[in-house]
Amino acid sequence: MPITADQVKQLRDMTGAGMMECKKALADTGGDLERAVDALRKRGAANAEKRSGRAAQEGRVDSYIHPGNRVGVLIEINCETDFVARTDEFGELVRNIAMQAAAAGAEYVRREEVPAERVGRERDVLAGAAELKGKPAAILDKIVTGKLDKFFAGVCLLEQAYIRDDKRTVADIVQEAATKTGENIVVRRFVRFRLGQD
């Protein structure tokens, strides 16, 4: 079945991928648009993994002040080139993630930054919960690991459900931006200020 220009355009509009990538994905999936989107997302994930080792020294520092002036965020997100850093799309990504940090109350960018003592304390509290008493050790460990994942999804910015689309995480949004730009994009750090709190 021949792939039409309209199909390629539709897939490009949906994914932001390049024309030839879209054409190949449609050809590989027999013109099935949904499967082509999935194929492009898988390729994007693989390509993002390759890009993750590249240096991201450019980018933006931006701020977001929530209406009412009681919560504010200062954030740094890096990319590889100043060309990408100056684009409106990158600026929008930075602002949206700053807004996420303000609204969802993350404390860390990624789980590796959570102090080991805090993770250990959380694990002890979860393991000691009354409803888990008497569970076999193997099952207890799986339950506690699952609950720890929920803890990380609350305190780590990249693991939070994205406020504009809770079916995706902030990490998914960053990866999609990396796929569209072809660059490594890294959420470097942020500081959240709340009026009257240290």
- Give yes or no: residues 62 and 104 share one domain: yes
- Give yes or no: residues 20 and 103 share one domain: no
- Give yes or no: residues 190 and 93 share one domain: yes
- Give yes or no: residues 97 and 166 share one domain: yes
> Does 47 have pLDDT greater than 60?
no
> Does 54 have pLDDT greater than 70?
no
Report how far apart, in Å, the C-alpha atoms of 46 and of each of 42, 49, 57, 188 are. Answer: 6, 5, 22, 21
> Does 113 have pLDDT greater than 50?
yes
- Give yes or no: residues 18 and 76 share one domain: no
- For residue 64, what are the contacts with CB-CB under 8 A and spacing of at least 6? 72, 73, 75, 95, 98, 99, 101, 102
Which helix (H) or strand (E) segment holds residue 76: the answer is strand 71-79
Query: How far is 154 from 101, CA to CA, in rounded Å?
Result: 11
> Does 141 have pLDDT greater than 50?
yes
- Give yes or no: residues 179 and 98 share one domain: yes
Query: How far is 95 from 163, CA to CA, in rounded Å?
Result: 13
- Give yes or no: residues 95 and 173 share one domain: yes
Task: Domain count for the chain, please give it.
Answer: 3
- Give yes or no: residues 65 and 94 share one domain: yes
Q: Mean of the pLDDT values across residues 110-116?
A: 94
Query: How far is 109 from 101, CA to CA, in rounded Å?
Result: 9
pTM passes above 0.85? no
Residue 33 or residue 74, greater confidence:
74
- Token pair for residue 72? 């504010």
**Residue range of the domain that includes 67:** 58-109+156-194
- Give yes or no: residues 124 and 190 share one domain: no
What CATH number did the domain enclosing 180 receive? 3.30.479.20
Q: What are the tens digits of pLDDT across the range 161-182?
A: 999 998 999 999 999 998 888 8
